Amino acid sequence: MGQSMYIFLLVGFVGFAILAIFLRDLLKAAISLAFSSIFLAMIFFHMKAYYVGVFEISVVAGLITVLFIATIGLTKGQGDVKERKIPLVIFPLFFIAFLFLDVVIMNALKTQMAVLSGKPEVPHFPQVLWGFRTLDLVGQIGVIFAGVFAVLALFRKGGTHE
Amino acid sequence: MLFLFIAIPLAVASILPLLGKISKRVLPDLLGNLTLVFLLGYTLWIGKELSQAGGIVQRLEWLGEPLAIVLVLDGFSHLMLFTVSSVALCVTLFSIDYMKHYGEKVPYYALFLMMIAGMNGLLLSPDIFGIFLFLELSAIASYGLVAYGLGHDELEASFKYLMLSAVASGFVLLAIVLLFGLTGSLALGDIAMGLRALPPSPLVWVCVAFFVMGFGLKAAIVPFHAWLPDAHPSAPASISAMLSGLLIKVSGIYALTRLLFNVFGVTPTLSTVLLYLGTLSMVVGAFLALGQNDIKRMLAYSSISQIGYILLGLGAGNPLGLLGGLFHIMNHAMAKALLFLDSGSIERATGTRDLQKMGGLASRMPLTAATSVVGSLSIAGVPPLNGFWSKLLIILGLIEAKHYGFALIAILASVLTLWYYLVIQRKAFFGKLNEIWRGVVEAPFWMSASTVILALGCIGIGIFFSPMLKTWISPAVEILYGGTVHALNFLGL
């Protein structure tokens, strides 16, 4: 796996993510986000984080894209919404600043990070989840429930507060 | 059993939609309030054990096998748990009558309890990723609650809040990744130990900066405050009370303080940063509050200003300053929740939040007016109310640390605070009654009862401030003053 392949995957990941923000057509934006997610999953696979890669493809690129497309299919257009042009100028500036921070500073500092410079000892995924991070599962279950309840609250009937 | 602080609200929230089918009106109110009564009672009960042991570490087991669930309670988290459960109970009591005109209550209470579970989890987790996860849980629940009214303003405010909160989460997550890279652990104690062993590195400062930006956004510290003046006024009053009174303190101030004091260790440079950020928030928040006509927006800006006081107390770094800062967390939570609930009573009675349209409401809503005066004077720091003592301690702490300039600014900002709170009182409650409000009546029983309880709390804590300081605040100060040693001895797993 060469450096060029990583760069290709990163460019694909970031490029489709940016496209998802700037595309005005919601359907195309959702599909672009799915492509971005596939690139991210490929990066995970190449970093040998197979479980994360599988979750990324199945849940983010798969399930969430289906949900997005289904929801977009249910919505009706309500006329054009005027959008500000400022993000078009500000976003590239922020993006360049971020790239500078990421490439120059983080790259220079990564040798100082003990975990990155040493050889990782990777326990098996279920062992990590059940043996070390059980509280995270409780939190994750809570997050999922909170998301579901938020959707129930937002789509409840007759709840508009006048 | 510390896990009950997370499990009970999570479990009740999860079964509410099913039980809500049986009774849509009574059961959600009953379950929501009973859960908070239990949490408050349990917080008080566990305090006895805590005072004897000095700290509680709980490792959960399942059928004799240890689970990787470790929770820790010390003086600081206990103070915050007490503040959360007591204020949240008053808010749920208020919600019994107030939420009637928002339609179905089941999703409201489910989200409310999720938010409580998230805050409790954050307070009890000795693991930085656990803190992040529970921070997200409370945040996601709060997005839904801010938008609960489903109006244009509510949805826009919720979206803005979500976007800026996501940025904050990004900063926090990035800092966590860096810390894990540096120390190879996510446990607070192990991170503190790892950082001690490290040679001086700019990467540690990058982590601190990301945490200050991330948690600063959550706490709405100036200049990271843009989301708060939209989100807090747009939410239902009960949720504004929770956000301004509790959530910004738990997910912003508590998390930041815990990390800076017990994990990184506060240096003079860091203290100076806290002092300047605190002063900026205090002054900018106060001036912005002064120009508002929307009562809830004014209260929201006031929250930014009061967060500044808390930071000043923490930045002073001495026991007196810390005592004042932590005491102000509790006092501001009570007084600001009270004022937001009162604003909800006014809005419900008059249909407006515009101070220019109000006037003379004290004759129609005497209880709301009286409790609002108590809350206002408390936040303004008028003796003998609770806010006076915490502000006094902060200012004394600053003087003791020889930060005379910051102390003077704090006093002047307090005068400014009194000014805009008197403006609220004069415009809303006093003067000649506006004819269109002649039909206005006092808020229903539960709404009035909850505000009266909070007002009595402000007065009671003010009168009995000495035992309050000894019982609740001093143990928390000892934890912070213990610095990283506390983390090494207690939070290392």
From B133's Cα to the closest Cα of chain A, the distance in A is 6
Q: Which residues of A touch B159 (CB under 8 A)?
A: none
From B131's Cα to the closest Cα of chain A, the distance in A is 10
When pLDDT is averaged across residues A137-158 and rounded to a whole number, the result is 87
Instruction: Kindly give, in sequence order, each residue whose CB lies less than 8 Å from that of residue B171, ignoring residues fewer than 6 positions away.
Output: B210, B211, B213, B214, B217
When pLDDT is averaged across residues B46-74 and rounded to a whole number, the result is 84
CA B31 to CA B388: how far, in whole Å?
36
When pLDDT is averaged across residues B387-392 and rounded to a whole number, the result is 95
Domain map (residue ranges) of chain A: 1-83, 84-121, 123-162
Say if residue B290's pLDDT is above 80: yes
Q: Exposed, middle or buried by CB within 10 Å (0-12, 13-18, 19+), for B431?
A: middle
Strands B65-73 and B56-62: antiparallel
Q: Under an 8 A CB cutoff, do A138 and B118 touch?
A: no
Give this complex's ipTM. Answer: 0.87
Q: Which residues of A touch B17 (CB under 8 A)?
A: 149, 152
Helix (H) or strand (E) holding B174: helix B152-183
The residue written with tokens 């919720």 in the block is B158
pLDDT (tens digit per residue) in B243-275: 988 999 898 999 999 999 999 988 999 999 999
If one compares B430 and B68, the residue with the highest pLDDT of the two is: B430
Q: Exposed, middle or buried by CB within 10 Å (0-12, 13-18, 19+), for B361?
A: buried
Q: Is A80 helix (H, G, I), strand (E, B) or coil?
A: coil
Q: Under an 8 A CB cutoff, do A135 and B181 touch?
A: no
pLDDT (tens digit per residue) in B295-330: 999 999 999 999 999 999 999 989 999 999 999 999
Q: What angle do CA A42, A48, A54 make, to 5 degrees?
A: 55
Say if residue A123's pLDDT is above 70: no
Q: Under an 8 A CB cutoff, do A149 and B114 touch?
A: yes
What's the longest Cα–Cα distance across chain B? Answer: 71
pTM of the model: 0.90
Q: Is B104 helix (H, G, I), strand (E, B) or coil?
A: coil
Q: Under an 8 A CB cutoff, do A145 and B104 touch?
A: no
The closest alpha carbon to B73, from B89, B92, B50, B45, belongs to: B50
pLDDT band for position B382 (50/70/90)?
very high
pLDDT band for position A77 (50/70/90)?
low
Q: Which residues of A touch B143 (CB under 8 A)?
A: 150
Minimum-distance CB partner of A159 among B10, B102, B180: B102
Q: Is B149 helix (H, G, I), strand (E, B) or coil?
A: coil
Chain B residue with the nearest C-alpha to that of A140 = B133
pLDDT at B493: 47
From A156's Cα to the closest Cα of chain B, the distance in A is 8
For an interface test with B, give the residue of A145, A148, A160 to mutate (most B CBs within 10 A). A145
From B111's Cα to the closest Cα of chain A, the distance in A is 6
Q: Under an 8 A CB cutoff, do A138 and B121 touch?
A: yes
Least confident of A17-31, B32-46, B68-82, B462-476: A17-31
Minimum-distance CB partner of A109 among B129, B183, B203: B203
Looking at every residue in chain B, the average pLDDT score rounds to 91
pLDDT at B491: 57
CATH number for the domain running over A1-83: 1.20.120.1200
For an interface test with A, give the residue of B3, B4, B5, B10 to mutate (most A CBs within 10 A). B10
Determine phi and psi for B67, rounding to 5 degrees.
-100, 155
pLDDT at A105: 66
Q: Which residues of A touch B104 (CB under 8 A)?
A: 156-159
pLDDT at A162: 47
Least confident of A23-32, B70-79, B298-307: A23-32
pLDDT at B372: 95
Chain A residue with the nearest C-alpha to that of B61 = A134
Minimum-distance CB partner of B114 among A105, A134, A146: A146
Say if residue B178's pLDDT is above 50: yes
pLDDT at B30: 93
If one compares B250 and A108, the residue with the highest pLDDT of the two is: B250
pLDDT at B183: 87
CA B98 to CA B321: how far, in whole Å?
38
From A29's Cα to the closest Cα of chain B, the distance in A is 18
Instruction: Kindly give, in sequence order, each residue whose CB lies less than 8 Å from that of residue B161, ignoring residues fewer than 6 positions away.
Output: B142, B143, B146, B227, B230, B231
Say if residue B458's pLDDT is above 70: yes
B202 touches chain A (CB under 8 A): yes
Percent pLDDT > 90 in chain A is: 15
Say if residue B454's pLDDT is above 50: yes
CB contact residues (below 8 A), chain B span 41-70, against chain A? 60, 67-70
The closest alpha carbon to B180, from B166, B197, B195, B200, belongs to: B195
pLDDT at B228: 87
B103 touches chain A (CB under 8 A): yes
If one compares B255 and B23, the residue with the highest pLDDT of the two is: B255
Least confident of A44-58, B119-133, B306-320, B415-429: A44-58
The closest alpha carbon to B218, from B278, B267, B171, B157, belongs to: B171
pLDDT at A118: 55
Say if residue B146's pLDDT is above 90: yes
pLDDT at B202: 82
Q: Is B103 helix (H, G, I), strand (E, B) or coil?
A: coil
Q: Which residues of B touch A141 (CB under 8 A)?
A: 10
| Cα B3 versus chain centre, distance | 21
Q: Exposed, middle or buried by CB within 10 Å (0-12, 13-18, 19+), for B255?
A: buried
Q: What is the DSSP string of B286-319?
A: HHHHHT--BHHHHHHHHHHHHHHHHHHHHHH-SH
Q: Under an 8 A CB cutoff, do A146 and B137 touch?
A: yes
Token pair, residue B263, equals: 């994990």
Minimum-distance CB partner of B144 among A112, A142, A149: A149
